[in-house]
Amino acid sequence: MTATPHYTQFIDGSWVDTDRTFDIIDPANGELVATAARGSVENLDQAVAAAQAAHARGEWRSKTPDERADILSAMVADMSERMDELVALHVKENGVTIRQAMAFHVGYSISHLQYFADLARTYEFERSGPQLSYPTLASGIVRREPIGVVGGIVPWNFPLLLAVWKLGPALAAGNTIVLKPDEKTPLTLLELAKSAERAGLPKGVLNIVTGAGEEVGARLAAHPDVRKIAFTGSTAVGREISKLAAENIKKVTLELGGKGPNIVLADADIASAVDGALFACFLYAGQACESGTRLLLPESLHDEFVDRLVQRAATIKVGDPSEFDTDIGPVISAEQHARILDYIEIGQKEGATLAFGGEPPTGAQFEQGNWVRPTIFTDVTPDMRIAREEIFGPVLSVLKYRTVDDAVAIANDSEYGLSAGVWSEDLEAALDVAARIESGTVWINDWHMVNALYPFGGYKQSGNGRELGPHALDEYTEEKFVHVDLSRSLDRKVYDLVLPAAQAAVDR
């Protein structure tokens, strides 16, 4: 019998075990995939101390940007060689389909890390400012310097990718980092640490502590030696992170919840918009913060659109995520499964019409694991909980609107503002609607197209700051102004605002 793999923490360049463990469970069948060390607050403190010591030694931050980029690129090369291994592991630990893991979860992780390596080579760490003539002749230099120890807290849905979004810019800028993955999905992130080891990343620069969020995550957010915290997760936990970070005025980046409105205009190509709406909501069984979970349809298209929507939804194959023809796999856990089914019941009690799905699939292969069929509600009104609260599952709420102004008002009537979409054959009309939506990302005639070249983040209670894009390193640096006096003469200075003029003459 093959022994169950066991994963340990990565602290100060060493693999650190604990007496207690987490069980990593395959969401598709409930089987044990691996065990992982259950880190403690003491382990977290050790990791922060290691990161602080590494920053103080300066061996990472003193490297040139090109030298740092070379090591990040070496990590990319190692991960690329092991892509099949990482994909298989990712499918097992969080239930994503193999096609999606290859394209997004692992594929994007590798390409985005390379983006940050490339950004390190081109980022403007220092620039000259304008020459000053008043009150004295001077020039200025603006530098962007590493913050120090960065803390990153990573969720279970895209654990490797969202870790890269934090460690990539942090390391490219010359910081050290301590990462806390979700206890359900730490495996691929620990495999990334092996790539960092092989690439020659100095010890203490990257540390990974696999502890519980309410203990280790809270300590990381509050730790006085952590100067920046980057968190992806729910809005409720994000509020707590903000409170803890405020105690010592940390920099904070938060990417939180969403309730993405997907607006179909009356002139939209129906076939494209139908498939796009299903893709927007049901990718990774709806377990993405930027999913399009509110579909807004004009009255003129509603009935035809819903008919086609249901017909196409019926073609989606739910099944074993390791099989290439599977479209949707399980949801992450029994707790999440129960939460989604509760919301489906709530929707029906509130008066919404269950147009499709709403129950687990049937068959022997679904007797174990956490399964929910794609679910579509119609007759949803903006006040219903299924239209306002983040369900984080394969549940699509269809709302009807009369005018474009009504659609925009419904879209913006939310505490969230992470993602949105507009479908139209008239690009100018779509751009006009996009300009009126309160959201960090608006896709026109598409969805889920997150690109490293463009910033990602939310309005309102969907978060603070931005990840990705050409300014991603801004969030991981401090800006310093260095003033250089060019007057070279005491009588050209303004010291006489304090000192008597006679004193200046004596000194000359």
Separation CA 477–CA 472 (nearest Å): 10
> Are 354 and 348 within 8 A, CB to CB?
yes
Residues annotated as part of the active site: 255, 289
Separation CA 65–CA 357 (nearest Å): 52
3-state helix, strand, coil in the chain (%, to 5): 40, 20, 35
CA torsion through residues 439, 440, 444, 450, sign: negative
Nearest residue to 51 (alpha-carbon basis) of 152, 184, 177, 233: 177
Q: At what angle do helices 65-81 and 187-199 cross, to 10 degrees?
A: 130
Bond prior to 135 in cis (omega within 30° of 0) = yes
Separation CA 184–CA 336 (nearest Å): 12
Give the single-character DSSP code of 102: I
Q: How far is CA 321 from CA 78, 330, 371, 505, in A?
A: 25, 8, 11, 83
Separation CA 449–CA 463 (nearest Å): 19
> Are 209 and 181 within 8 A, CB to CB?
no
Q: How many CA atoms lie within 13 A of 401 on its CB side?
A: 22
Q: How far is CA 353 from CA 22, 389, 393, in A?
A: 40, 18, 18
Q: How far is CA 191 from CA 83, 160, 205, in A?
A: 11, 9, 16
Helices (H), 270-328: 270-282, 302-313
> Are 376 and 294 within 8 A, CB to CB?
no
Q: Name 144's bridge partners.
A: 479
Contacts of 164 (CB under 8 A, 6+ apart): 109, 112, 113, 116, 192
